[in-house]
Amino acid sequence: MRTIAVVNQKGGCGKTTVSINLASALADMGHKTLLVDMDPQSHCAVGLAVPEDQIEQSIYDVLISTSRNEPIRLTEVLWQISDRLELAPASIDLSAFEQQMAGIPERECCLKNVLAQVLSEYDYAIVDCPPAVGLLTFNALRAATDAIVPVETGYFALHGLSKQLETLSILCKRCNRQVDVRVLASMYDIRTKMAREILAELRNHFADKMFKTIVNFNTKLKEAASLGQPIAEYDPVSRGQMDFHALAEEVIGSRPKEQRHEIVKSLAGQLEAISTTADQLLKSAKIPKTEGPPIQEIKAPKAEEPQKTETPQKTETDIKLSDYYGVSQINDAVVFVTLYPRAKDVQIAGDFNNWQPEKTPLHKVGTSGVWQTKLKVPAGKYRYRLVVDGHWQQDPYNENAELNPFGGFNSIVDVK
Ligand SMILES: Nc1ncnc2c1ncn2[C@@H]1O[C@H](COP(=O)(O)OP(=O)(O)OP(=O)(O)O)[C@@H](O)[C@H]1O
Ligand SMILES: [Mg+2]
């Protein structure tokens, strides 16, 4: 069983939304999944229409029972949500957990010990953490094999990121466990320039510590939660559903069994590295402290080796990231520039090449993670998608897009 803690002490960054919908997507893909709510706010129950007044026993009772002589089994508190998804709900009592466990040895290992009883019964356990760094979050990290840190793609989220990760890192040093931790861009609003620039910077700095999948801002996710449904049930063709399907695929694919031993690193070390880059990121980005005024001074990454394809002119390296990435027309050619530091292969499929990606590969620019290509096409409106290591996706730096017949989005470029 893989145990994935969804953690960030910042409130409202999307932890519960990620927990519920990732768990639901994994279950829909055939994996037996357990969702554990470690937040006294009990939002997982709310988001899955489990009536709070009927929760007689919660994960609190199971955790606390480990320190008493009347053990309660996890299976006694579970609610079945769908064929392969079960919820261990939280309750307000959890807010007293830290106080009640004070002085009890091994109090950080309660969840780990509880989950150890069901290791062979589930493929995944997703643990939703409270917006605080305390004994509950520590229990989650202690039990985890992986951690997902959702980060809102807004300036203020970025500003707090370094502090958040630093605290987590201190906590994890005590934990001394080997966990794979990754940042997930959440609530991404492609229409705002701020979000696009921050995504570019996050990708550039965090590289392989970041999920390729982005969770877009999608009001359907909010509606689904308020009606107590996972997005897959509420609106199976929504953008939100596509994002969580892709996230689940990436999670499943991220650690093929045979490679596990190579990937495992210390969580504390990784968080420290991420936190340092978050600081550098803030310094280098020179992003204004308020949303609103346009960003003037973000430099596009430098090309480090001679470029094989024709590229945007040199002066363009000083322009804003939002103008640099995506698609633009330069004279009679269309230039595609994108950022995928971890990709091995980036191609474009579109009307102009009969949707055959192998005909239009992008070329890697040095080691910066930037990929680009230039095409000459007659004037007209073209639809395209990026194909990154075989995964078809919308161009994240082009806000001009339309729904395609397959339920995905095609990016659009108008060549004059
Ligand atoms: N991708 C998204 N698109 C639109 N709304 C979202 C998205 N993700 C989360 N939300 C909404 O933002 C609000 C906060 O999200 P959520 O409850 O998942 O955050 P959280 O980190 O769990 O918060 P807390 O720290 O309080 O537990 C909710 O109303 C949720 O529906
Ligand atoms: Mg929450």
Residue 78 has pLDDT above 80, yes or no: yes
Tell me which of 19, 43, 95, 222 to substitute to probe ligand 1's pocket, judged by most ligand atoms within 8 Å of the beta carbon. 222
- The minimum-distance atom of ligand 1 relative to the CA of 216 is 1
- Pocket lining: 190 vs ligand 1, CB cutoff 6 Å: no
Asked whether 222 lines ligand 1 (CB < 6 A), one says: yes
Say whether pLDDT at 325 is over 70: yes
Q: Residue 221: its pLDDT value, please?
A: 95
Cβ-contact 326, 395 below 8 angstroms: yes
Question: Domain check: are 234 and 364 in the same one?
Answer: no
d(CA 221, ligand 1 centre) in Å: 9
Helices (H) then strands (E): counts for the chain: 14, 16
CB neighbours of residue 78 within 10 Å: 19
Q: Residues with Cβ < 8 Å from 336, sequence gap 6 or more?
A: 326, 327, 348, 362, 372, 373, 374, 375, 395
The span from the first CA to the last CA of the chain, in angstroms, equals 54
> pLDDT digit string (tens) for 218-246?
999 999 999 999 999 999 999 999 999 99
> Does residue 309 lie in a domain region?
no
Does a structural domain hold residue 140?
A: yes
Cα distances (angstroms) measured from residue 389 to each of 157, 345, 357, 392: 29, 5, 11, 8
Q: Decide which of 237, 264, 284 is a domain's last residue.
A: 284
> Does the beta carbon of 288 lie inside 6 Å of ligand 1?
no
Task: Indicate if 267 and 325 belong to the same structural domain.
Answer: no
pLDDT band at 159 (very low <50, low <70, confident <90, very high): low
Q: Does residue 289 sit within a domain?
A: no
Interhelix angle 15-28/219-226, nearest 10 degrees: 80
Of 242, 266, 284, the last residue of a domain is 284
Whether residue 412 is predicted with pLDDT greater than 60 in this model: the reply is: yes
Pairing of strands 333-339, 370-376: antiparallel
Residue by residue, DSSP assigns 301-361 as: PPP-S--SS--S-GGGGGS-HHHHSEEEEETTEEEEEEE-TT-S-EEEEEGGGTT-GGGSB
Q: Strand, coil or helix: what is 231? A: helix
Query: With a 6 A CB cut-off, is 234 part of the ligand 1 pocket?
Result: no
Helix (H) or strand (E) holding 275: helix 267-285
Q: How does residue 69 score in pLDDT terms, banded at 50, 70 and 90?
A: confident
- Which has the higher per-residue pLDDT, 283 or 18? 18
For position 351, which CATH number holds?
Answer: 2.60.40.10
Residue 294 lies in a domain: no
Let me know whether 278 and 321 are in one domain. no
pLDDT at 66: 77
- For residue 211, report the distance from its CA to the centre of ligand 2, in Å: 20
- pLDDT tens-digit profile of 185-202? 999 888 877 778 778 777
Same domain, 169 and 62: yes
Alpha helices in 227-266 (DSSP H): 231-234, 239-254, 260-263
Structure tokens at 161: 């990121």
Who surrounds ion ligand 2 at CB < 5 A?
Answer: 15-16, 43
| Boundary-marking domain end, from 284, 299, 332 | 284
Q: Which of 151-165, 324-338, 341-355: highest mean pLDDT?
A: 341-355
Bridge pairing between strands 85-88 and 33-37: parallel
Same domain, 17 and 130: yes
Residue 292 inside a domain? The answer is no
The pLDDT assigned to 274 comes to 56
Residue 97, token pair as written in the block: 């957990």
- Distance CA(53)–CA(42), nearest Å, equals 11
Same domain for 71 and 186, yes or no, is yes
Judge if the beta carbon of residue 230 lies within 6 A of ligand 1: no
- Quick check: 296 pLDDT over 80? no
> Is 265 or 299 the better-scoring residue by pLDDT?
265
pLDDT at 31 over 50: yes
* pLDDT score, position 164: 65
Q: Is residue 299 included in any domain, yes or no?
A: no
Q: With 70 as the cut, is the pLDDT of residue 265 above it?
A: no
Supply the mean pLDDT for the chain: 80
Are 247 and 320 contained in the same domain? no
Pair (233, 106) in one structural domain: yes
Q: Is the CB of 194 under 6 A from ligand 1?
A: no
- Burial zone of 379 (CB within 10 Å; 0-12 exposed, 13-18 middle, 19+ buried): exposed
- Nearest Cα residue to 299 out of 320, 281, 283, 268: 320
**pLDDT given at position 299:** 32
- Number of domains the chain is built from: 2
Mean pLDDT calculated for residue range 317-323: 43
CATH number at residue 248: 3.40.50.300
Q: Are 60 and 144 in a shared domain?
A: yes
Q: Do 73 and 123 have their domain in common?
A: yes
- Which of 6, 9, 13, 17 to probe ligand 1 with, by most ligand atoms within 8 A of CB? 17
Residues 6+ apart with CB under 8 A from 150: 6, 8, 13, 14, 15, 18, 183, 184, 186, 215
Dihedral (Cα; 231, 236, 242, 248), 10-degree rounding: 60
Torsion angle, CA of 359/364/370/374, rounded to 10 degrees? -40
What are the residues whose beta carbons fall under 8 Å from the beta carbon of 204, sequence distance 6 or more?
301, 339, 341, 368, 369
Domain-located, residue 99: yes
Report whether pLDDT(411) > 80.
Answer: yes
Q: What is the pLDDT of residue 205?
A: 65
332 and 270, same structural domain?
no
- Decide: 64 in ligand 1 pocket, CB within 6 A: no
Domain coverage including residue 263:
2-284
115 CB near ligand 1 (under 6 Å):
no
Q: Is 126 in the pocket of ligand 1 (CB under 6 A)?
A: no
pLDDT at 80 over 90: yes
Q: Using the mean position of ligand 1's atoms as its centre, give its distance from the Cα of residue 186 in Å.
A: 9
Confidence of residue 309 (pLDDT cuts 50, 70, 90): very low
Q: Are residues 279 and 362 in the same domain?
A: no
pLDDT tens track for 32-57: 999 999 999 999 999 999 998 899 99
Domain assignment present for residue 295? The answer is no
Name, in order, each residue with C-beta under 8 angstroms of 236's C-beta and a sequence gap of 6 or more.
Answer: none
Confidence band for 279, pLDDT divided at 50, 70 and 90: low
